[in-house]
Structure formats: C-alpha cells, structure tokens
Amino acid sequence: MLEIIQIPVLSDNYIYLLHEPISGKTAAVDPAIAEPVIAILQHKGWSLDYIYNTHHHGDHVGGNLILKQITGCQIFGAKADQQRIPGIDSTLIHGDRIALGEEAFEIIATPGHTLGHIVYYSVNSHVLFCGDTLFSMGCGRLFEGSALQMWESLQQLKTLPASTKIYCAHEYTQANGRFALILEADNADLQARIKEVDQLRNQNLSTLPSTIGLELSTNPFLRENNPSIRRSISASEDTSAAAVFASIRQLKDKFH
C-alpha cells in the first residue's frame, strides 16, 4: 500500500511524499521548496529516489535542485518541458509508465494550465497526482493552453474510476465551492461538500484528497452538460460542452 504524506507549504501549496514500503522507494511530487521534504525524510529514515514534476512553474519545481544535490534523486517531468524543469533527468510523454518500486504510474498529458502539464495516475492504488489541472470543485487557470485543450484534458480524467483519490497541488477548495454554488445553487451534493469543506478549513485542515466521483457531482468544470449550470450562463441547447466549459472558466477568472 502506497504511503502518502501531504506537506503544506508556502501560502496554499501541497507537496506529496510517496513511499512504497515493499521496495522502500520514495518520491516527492512537485516540491516547491526542499526543507520540509528533507525534514520528513530524516524523520522517517527514508531516502529520496525520485521527484515527479507535473509542470514547470516555480511553486512546483523550486526545491528540485537542492533535493537533487542532497539526495541524488532522479527528476522526472514532461518531455515538452525539459528545458523548463530544473535538474530533469528523465522525460515523459502521454502513455508512459514509470515504477515506484511495486507501484506503477501512468502518465496522462493534460495541456491547458501549461502546454506541457502531465499528471501521474497510480493504476494499482487508484490515486491521481494532478498538479494544477484539476482542483477540488475547480480547475487550473489557462496560462499557456486553450480552453479547448483544458476541456479535453479533463475529459480524460473524468473516465478514471469514481473511487480514484485526487491529490491536487493547492488548497483552493473553499473559494472554488463558493463559485460553484453561484452556478448550481440547487445541487445538494455541492451544498453538503461546501459545509464539510468549511468545517475542515475552520480547523485549518486539508480538504484533500477528493475523489473523481465527488468531483463529478460537485465540480462545475466537470458538469458542463448539467442543465442548471447551462441555465446559469444562459447557454443555448446547441452550445457545445467545450464552449460551456470555456464560459465557466472565463467567469471563474473574474470571480473574487
């Protein structure tokens, strides 16, 4: 069973430390900074074997070089981003599989937030490390890719098993929920999720992981065909799902 440690850093980032107990192999996902990773490794008595980067932004790769210098770990990232990921050793493309000991991860290309964004899906444990592509009740801003690219990327993730746990790279859930409620105030699942999230955040606790199933019932970016959401943005019957998604994304960009 994969051991997953969530490390809150900066204002709202999460680094994930993954440990496969049979082999003893350990990986860090999107280490924004190195120090808290090193502290946990020392506390656990683990060595760091790999870094898995989802994309090139500084709050996801900032700890790469220090961790590599101290631990000698190998850094994985998208081939499309090989010039922008510090210390990268192994490049990945859509459909590749990599091993963390007995655990296998499938690489899914998810352009949108950035053009080279990838996510890591465990085919054994059904967990997804999705960086800034998918958030709980939200999705990433479109810094490099188009709305159509992001929509197509999310369509891939929607097909994963409903029980799949999603480990996003930021704690954006509460604000995302407030926006989602504007679009779909009559969604009982959404209302219940927001109540749960508010209780967690009032205690300064993480709202993650979520699951694909929970997101399918609460995340407006995965519910572009829902009649209530379509009415909220005044979409006509013949408006495509991708166009509805683009409208939702534009509205979210202006939401505060």
Quick one: average pLDDT of 153-170?
98
What does the alpha-carbon distance between residue 122 and residue 71 come to, in Å, rounded to a whole number? 24
Token pair 């960086």 is found at 131
| CATH class assigned to 3-173+208-215 | alpha beta
Domain map (residue ranges) of the chain: 3-173+208-215
Is the pLDDT at 255 greater than 90? The verdict is no
Quote the pLDDT of residue 1.
84
Report the candidate in 175, 174, 163 with the shortest Cα–Cα distance to residue 128: 163
Quick one: average pLDDT of 137-144?
97
- Residue 153 identity: S
Quote the pLDDT of residue 102.
95
Is the pLDDT at 225 greater than 80? The verdict is yes
Quick one: average pLDDT of 91-114?
98
Quote the pLDDT of residue 236.
87
Quick one: average pLDDT of 31-42?
98
Quote the pLDDT of residue 245.
96
Is the pLDDT at 256 greater than 80? The verdict is no
Mean pLDDT of the chain: 97
Beta bridge partners of 52: 29, 76
